[in-house]
Amino acid sequence: MSRRIRDDILVRIYAENEELLAFKPSIKSGLDQLKEELKTPQTSVLPPIQDDGGPDLAVWEGIMAPYAQSNWLDAPWLVTEFYFYRRIIQIFQYFRTSYDPFHHQKRLGLEGALELTKELVARAEEVHKAGDPETALHFAVFASLWGNKMDLSLWPSQSDGAAANKAQTFANVLEASSVNLLADDFSTVLAHLRGAGASGRVDIVVDNAGFELVTDLLLADALLLHKLASQVVFHLKGHPTFVSDAMEKDVRDTVHYLASHQVVAARDRWSSYLQTGQWDLRAHNYWAQPFPFWERPDEVTEDLSQSRLVFVKGDANYRRLLGDRDWPLSTPFADVASYFPSPVTALRTLKAELGCGMAEGEVERARREKPRDWMVTGTYGVVQFTDPDV
């Protein structure tokens, strides 16, 4: 709370919204109050969310009711982390102004990754031209999982060689991307999608904007191009949260920005997907709340139940998938996620000290390689699948 939230994130919020704060003293006053609370998190009681016009006020009253007398360190970390960001948009009056205090950071993330984006999209185009759905999906899943940690240096500088050389290049990249997986259900995911057929709808519970969102768009593109889905539904945050988490506007802004910078896939296909509804953007405030995923509004359950497969992205979503509980690491993913209303695949790099579905041998390997911080640095990942109806 004092290092990451107060001294890093809150400081950046001040800096990146400096012009607004100069003529909106009420916003600066609200941030100042929050900063004072975080100076003494062990004694500052968590005040309730105020009526700021948000449709989620009653929900937050219920979330915080058990912690009415709690301070920033008493309440569960997942709760206080989500609560912090809800306080931020209360201070900025988001529901009355639609002002996103994190817009600057998201834009920097997108612009700063433009060259890497062009490189990754170019590689993906080569994979698509090769015409093998398995390789294309494998590449897209790993890109969505690892993001900028995917080793594209394995690609030769001249990529227009013989088909056999291209196939070996693809294999090398996929092999390198598999090394740090502690659970890998990709083959089961592929078999499920092939069984579902092209008429199936596939969903993605999105995590971050910026380059990570680009990799999610690549995954959605691969699903349609190789007829593994007929529609992709993106589930997005209903309001700004966690600095970089993606909203509907961020998807549209990203596609427009990339198309205007001559990223061919964005210009030629992605814009069209948005216009035709093959990419369907659905925002809900539930995705910006700390509930375990087994506690859902009826409309979210009904929506997810229509999907042939839901990809759940990122560490915060994974924590919610596990209810932020300390499961034994060997507990089968199917046992933990059996409540989900559709088949589900988790794509997660480890950034919090919890998990499941990881074989003991793989866990021991990770502990040997990075004994102090193997669970929190994003070095290791999982691709985990279960179908609750099977």
Q: What pLDDT, in 10s, does the model give residues 339-355?
A: 999 999 999 999 999 99
CA-based end-to-end distance of the chain: 42
Specify the range with the lowest mean pLDDT, choosing from 35-49, 142-156, 226-240: 142-156
**So what's the pLDDT on residue 163?**
56
Exposed/middle/buried for residue 163 (C-beta within 10 Å: 0-12, 13-18, 19+): exposed
Question: From the CA atom positions of the chain, what is the Rg in Å?
Answer: 21
Judge contact between 204 and 176, C-beta under 8 A. Answer: no
**So what's the pLDDT on residue 154?**
62
**So what's the pLDDT on residue 158?**
45
Token pair for 232? 């992709």
Rounded CA separation 83/60 (Å): 9
Q: Which amino acid is at 34?
A: L
Judging by DSSP bridges, how do beta strands 181-184 and 381-386 pair with one another? parallel
Q: Within 10 A of 156 (CB to CB), how many other CB atoms are there?
A: 13
Q: What is the pTM of this model?
A: 0.95
> Looking at residues 278-287, what average pLDDT do you find?
98
- Which of 284, 365, 350 lies closest to 316, judged by CA? 350
Judging by DSSP bridges, how do beta strands 344-349 and 381-386 pair with one another? antiparallel
pLDDT digits (tens, 9 = 90+) for 305-329: 999 999 999 999 999 999 999 999 9
Q: Cα dihedral sign for 138, 143, 146, 151? A: positive
| DSSP line for 89-143 | HHHTTHHHH---TTHHHHHHHHHHTHHHHHHHHHHHHHHHHHT-HHHHHHHHHHH
Q: Within 10 A of 119 (CB to CB), how many other CB atoms are there?
A: 13
Exposed/middle/buried for residue 33 (C-beta within 10 Å: 0-12, 13-18, 19+): middle
CATH level 3 topology of 109-386: Rossmann fold (3.40.50)
Domain ranges of the chain: 3-99, 109-386
Q: Within 10 A of 149 (CB to CB), how many other CB atoms are there?
A: 13
Counting residues of the chain whose pLDDT is more than 70, the rounded percentage is 95
**So what's the pLDDT on residue 124?**
93
Specify the range with the lowest mean pLDDT, choosing from 86-90, 109-113, 195-199, 228-232: 195-199
**So what's the pLDDT on residue 152?**
66
Q: Is the pLDDT of residue 50 over 50?
A: yes
**So what's the pLDDT on residue 157?**
45
pLDDT digits (tens, 9 = 90+) for 125-178: 999 999 899 999 999 999 999 987 766 666 654 445 555 566 777 777 788 789
**So what's the pLDDT on residue 386?**
98
* Cα distances (Å, whole numbers) of residue 259 to 236, 308, 312: 21, 30, 26
Q: Within 10 A of 372 (CB to CB), how many other CB atoms are there?
A: 8
With vertex at residue 347, the alpha carbon angle to CA 200 and CA 303, rounded to the nearest 5 degrees, is 40
Judge contact between 219 and 143, C-beta under 8 A. Answer: yes
Rounded CA separation 1/194 (Å): 45
